[in-house]
Amino acid sequence: MALCRPGFESECANELISHLARTGINGRSTLSLESGQLRIALDNLHPFDALDRAIRLVSLTFARQLSFGFAEVHGLDGKDRVSPLMAAARLAGTPFSAILPEAADGAVGRPLAAICRRLQAPLERGFDRHSLVRPRRGHLPRLNILLAAPGSAWLGLSSADNGSPWPMGIPRLRMPSQAPSRSTLKLAEALLTLLTPAELEASMRAGQRAVDLGAAPGGWSWQLAHRGLHVTAVDNGPMAAQVMATGMIEHVRADGFTWRPRATVDWLVCDMVEQPARISRLVADWVACGRARRAIFNLKLPMKKRLAEIDVCRGLIRKRMHQASLGCELRIRQLYHDREEVTAYLEARPSS
């Protein structure tokens, strides 16, 4: 079972099916367009551990949340949804480390999301009473309860390290009052989603140097400055006064495709509106040449063949890194704050 941005169900399903097929697991998708949710029916039964190893959320672009279904419940009554859900959950034969009532994003799921929020506490109490939830036992699977309609739910398992920590895969981030554009939340979410907390702590520190290509009005630069990084913001457009007031930002009016730093920077971020392949070549070149140690960049997707376009970008980046005798860590995700776009993380690794 997967949740994604409404309108991207086909991309999400095709990506999941091809990832599974690479590990010898075959299945077909059942999806309704614009629903923001989908299910892949597998041809054979597979144990949870095998599926959990075969498919990793971090390597997928379009799935926001992922779980492996084991039961469906229909005829749920608004007066007591907890008892039938708990009876079905027992089919998993294990206690859970967490209970996540979830609904899809968009028009279909929105009213169900309100029910999910109301269900959270009663579910936790009910499961706890029967020793079916053990929050401190992180190795146990989480129970994802996807409310498909007010009266029906799909139950699935996910491991804590292979699923979004946020219900529905949506981080609820507060818009910082000093940031000039909502786009600031995209970089905030990217840092939380594309890196683990340990990776982020190890790789982003106050005092580092960053370059922001296509920086204006400064939402991404503000995120970096707020974390204590010195930012060179490259854009011919104007930067917002409150961003420049942080004192951490130098604004350079130049073309982001030709401007180069004098020395290696710790981070490159790039949000220029351009062909995804052109951005991919540019960012890969920065990392391959050692101009930046790591990069976060946004790729604006075409209306059609979006999955194919992402594959082209992956190929271009890997090829450029290979030419420099380097491997790479490349993660491409469609964030909650992304629209017709995806956000990527690139870091050079020794060639294997």
| 12 Cβ neighbours under 8 A, 6+ residues apart | 2, 4, 38, 60, 62, 63
Out of 37, 144, 162, 183, which residue is the one contacting ligand SAM (CB under 6 A)?
183
**Considering the rule CB under 6 A, would residue 256 count as an interface residue with ligand SAM?**
yes
Determine contact, residues 13/40, Cβ cutoff 8 Å: yes
Note whether 67 binds ligand SAM by CB under 6 A: no
Least distance between ligand SAM and beta carbon 320 (Å): 19
Instruction: For tokens 């951005």, name the residue.
Output: 279
Which member of 15, 189, 271, 338 binds ligand SAM (CB under 6 A)? 271
**Closer to ligand SAM by Cβ: residue 141 or 256:** 256
The footprint of ligand SAM on this chain (CB under 6 A) covers a number of residues equal to: 20
Is 193 a residue that touches ligand SAM (CB under 6 A)?
Answer: no
For 217, residues 6+ apart whose C-beta sits below 8 A from its C-beta are: 180, 181, 237, 238, 239, 240, 243
Cβ 90 to ligand SAM shortest distance, Å: 48
> Whole-number minimum distance, CB 28 to ligand SAM, in Å?
38
Quickly list DSSP for 102-156. E--SSTTTHHHHHHHHHHHHHHHHHHHHTT-B-TT-TTSPEEEEEEEETTEEEEE
Task: Round to whole Å and give the CA distance between 236 and 71.
Answer: 55
Give the strands of the sheet with 65-66, arranged side by side.
27-31, 37-42, 2-3, 65-66
Is 186 a catalytic site residue? no
Give the range of 125-133, 164-172, 267-275, 317-325 binding ligand SAM by CB under 6 A.
267-275
> Cβ–Cβ contacts within 10 Å for residue 249, how many?
22
Helices (H) and strands (E) in the chain, counts: 10, 15
The piece of 23-31, 135-143, 192-200, 269-277 that touches ligand SAM (CB under 6 A) is: 269-277
Q: Does 257 bind ligand SAM (CB under 6 A)?
A: yes
What are the percentages of helix, strand and coil residues in the chain, rounded to 5? 35, 25, 40
Looking at the Cβ atoms of 120 and 181, the one nearer to ligand SAM is 181
3-state SS, residue 94: coil
What residue type is assigned to position 267 of the chain? W
Contact flag: residue 299 with ligand SAM (CB under 6 A): no
Task: Copy the structure tokens of residue 138.
Answer: 């992180």
255 touches ligand SAM (CB under 6 A): yes
- The nearer residue to ligand SAM, 149 or 175, going by C-beta atoms, is 175
Give the residue at shortest CB distance from ligand SAM.
Answer: 219
Of the two residues 97 and 184, which places its CB atom closer to ligand SAM in the complex?
184
Write down the catalytic residue from 300, 304, 305, 319: 300
Binding mask 215-254 for ligand SAM (x = CB under 6 A): xxxxxx-------------xxxx-----------------
- Contact set with ligand SAM (CB under 6 A): 181, 183-184, 214-220, 234-237, 255-257, 271-273
Active site residues: 300
